[in-house]
Amino acid sequence: MYTLSRRASSETQHISKSAEVFHMTLGLLKEKANRRHRRSLPVSELLSVKAVEWIANLSGCPQTFQPTTCASEGKYRSISGVCNNRKNPLWGAANTGLARWLPAEYEDGENQPKGWNAGRQYSGFQLPLVREVSNKIMRGSSTSILEDNAYSQMLVDWGQYIDHDISFTPQSSSQTAFSEGQDCLHACTNANPCFPMQIPKDDKLSRNKSCLPFFRSSPACLNGQTDALHVRQQMNSITSFIDASTVYGHSADLEEILRNLSGSDGLLAVNSKYTDEGQPYLPFVSVQPSACLQDPGSERVECFAAGDSRVNEILPLSVLHTLWVREHNRLAKHLTRLNPHWGSEVIYQETRKIIGALHQIITMRDYVPKIIGREAFDEYIGPYEGYNDSVNPSVSNVFATAAFRFGHVTISPVLRRLNESFQEHEHFSSLNLHQTFFSPWRLIKEGGLDPVLRGLLGRPAALQSQDHLMTEELTERLVVLNIPETLDLAALNLQRGRDHGLPGYNDWRLFCGFDRVETRSDLAEVIGNDVLVEKVMDLYGHPNNIDVWLGGVLERPLSGARTGPLFACLIGKQMKTLREGDRFWWEHPGVFSPKQRQELQRHSLSRVICDNSGVTEVPLDPFRVETYPEDFLFCGNIPSLDLEEWKEQPDDNIRLKFTYTLLFVCLFVHILI
């Protein structure tokens, strides 16, 4: 979520640098040709597809167009997602381009974001400054936060956690402009990769500056579309699949770091310095001292290491990551007892397979229907019909950059920490949101996971209100590591959409089969708030210009949903591709036995909390806000996963061979005697 804090893996950084060299080379060639011809020419008119591929390879990009050979058999998914689809091995794999459901819209047709060229008009109007949009629309007219009477804070934080399982767009590997050499932290002019957010005068965040820093997303090397190789695409540095890459990572190097390779029971590494009432914490990062914030005057606590580098962004994320590492080790130990003949690698892979399945079940069964509503779920996703190798599961640009960021308007300004009676904790008070950023020390020194978990389960989520769309904790006090000032998440979202060349709100309405919004009355019909419509139209001038993220979050939610029609469509379509295009989806015949699938369905996030924390009472559905104590159950009443269905008898043939060998040895010894 907090974009500028992201640190990509070494493999991703290498590809990112190569991609930047590639795009910079195309830009220089284009610039030279334009000077010669005295007019602007697209790269497609200057270079053939073969020439573009050749330049990409010389830049150090992986040779994407060379065929990848996939093994005909393979019981477990690869850590990088490669070869999930044997016909298209890179679909959904880490370090490949985000999918484009609609063509990108850049100001030069190839690379420049919307708003790059001063004075450029759209439908007769200039695009408004993103910070101005945030100030005038996101803050609204009310300071009060509405509470969701149906769903708990856990719903919000699971959304962020699962988003980090399927998409991670790294920012540029460079902090300075390629041509001018200016520092993007201080520059207020556009020069790749600097795309600063201009701010109005007398703005709270101005601090005598005319802009806030913004780094463009790193381009992908090649986008896989041979007809548009030269058009900038952004990268997904992790696997698109719901595969618990948050726990295991997305590359062989990271996976090895996260494993405990010293034992024979397939465990993940845990913290060697601290425990949480005997339960393990995540291990610390290897490079120390790390950038995480510290408790003044106290012993250092480093950043946690996990399958996703964003683990430290906010305390609930760190808590969920920790829960799943504990659950892996708990299941792995049980499987080792059941199947001592398996060995470390099989134990690890079988446990990883179960953990991935649970991520899929909790997300698709318990989370998505609440977000988009049951009606939209049935329309866009429907019942599982099996694996389809013609479905590309890659996460789409509009989903990662706009639709799944709907949750930012449901974030509470306060993180509640509760005691065993689900009341305010006597020793560890609730925290303002900005106090939870990059602060793993608060878990280790302030009560561990349990007070935070009870706050997530026992308090309602913030309910989106058109009178107050986003808390000032995010628009005025967003903390980002390595950035010396606080930022604005709403402005970052809008600028990121422009950086990625996302088409506008109306184009996506058409994509989903809805009518275009042409007039103020049309807009009033989908938003339902005349005051808000006037503000939007005064800023944008024309409905075509509305940024897709803003248009999506302003729509009235569907019945029983937390999104409007557009985002319900885009999220639903994406979730369907993630399910249908995954050869290892838990329901796909052959991945698990029918009895194993039956057991997996019994499991729940509530049970994972029971088995891996000190919380002893939970709601049956952790995403629903319930009243304590009457609607909470003791953990003993929550169904659990019975691993007996994973017990494997050694093959009878092996037993027979062993018997014959033993008889032969006995006979041989008898003869010798």
Q: Which two tokens stand for residue 33?
A: 């040709």
Torsion of CA 380, 382, 388, 392, to 10 degrees: 30
Q: Which of 184, 150, 218, 8 is nearest to 557 (CA)?
A: 150
Distance CA 330, CA 244 (A): 16
Distance CA 427, CA 420 (A): 12
Distance CA 2, CA 437 (A): 9
Decide if 164 is catalytic: yes
Q: How far is CA 114 from CA 513, 593, 620, in A?
A: 25, 50, 46
Distance CA 192, CA 515 (A): 36
Distance CA 320, CA 457 (A): 12
Beta bridge partners of 65: none
Beta bridge partners of 424: 418
Q: Is-contact 403 575, C-beta < 8 A? A: no
Q: Which of 366, 270, 264, 286 is nearest to 324 (CA)?
A: 270
Q: Which two tokens stand for residue 94?
A: 């880490």
Residue 509 has φ and ψ, to the nearest 5°, of: -60, -45
Residues 6+ apart with CB under 8 A from 670: none
- If DSSP codes are grouped into helix, strand and coil, which group holds residue 582? coil
- If DSSP codes are grouped into helix, strand and coil, which group holds residue 589? strand
Task: Say if residue 250 carries a ligand binding annotation.
Answer: no
Q: Is-contact 167 400, C-beta < 8 A? A: yes
Q: Which two tokens stand for residue 429?
A: 């008070």
CA pseudo-torsion sign 115, 117, 121, 126: positive
Distance CA 121, CA 542 (A): 11
Distance CA 588, CA 393 (A): 15
Q: Is-contact 387 585, C-beta < 8 A? A: yes
For residue 145, the 8-state DSSP code is: -
Catalytic residue among 23, 164, 321, 434: 164
Q: Which two tokens stand for residue 524?
A: 């009033």
Strand ranges, E, within 60-145: 96-97, 121-122, 125-126
β-pairing, 275-276 with 121-122? Answer: unpaired
Residue 423 has φ and ψ, to the nearest 5°, of: -115, 170
Looking up tokens 């540029």, which residue turns up?
A: 172
Burial 235-249 (b: 16+ CB within 10 A, else e): bbbbbbbbbbbbbbb
Distance CA 306, CA 303 (A): 10
Distance CA 280, CA 559 (A): 42
Q: Is-contact 453 609, C-beta < 8 A? A: yes
- If DSSP codes are grouped into helix, strand and coil, which group holds residue 633? strand
Binding-site positions for heme b: 408
Task: Specify binding-site residues.
Answer: 408
Q: Mind telling me the catalytic residues?
A: 164
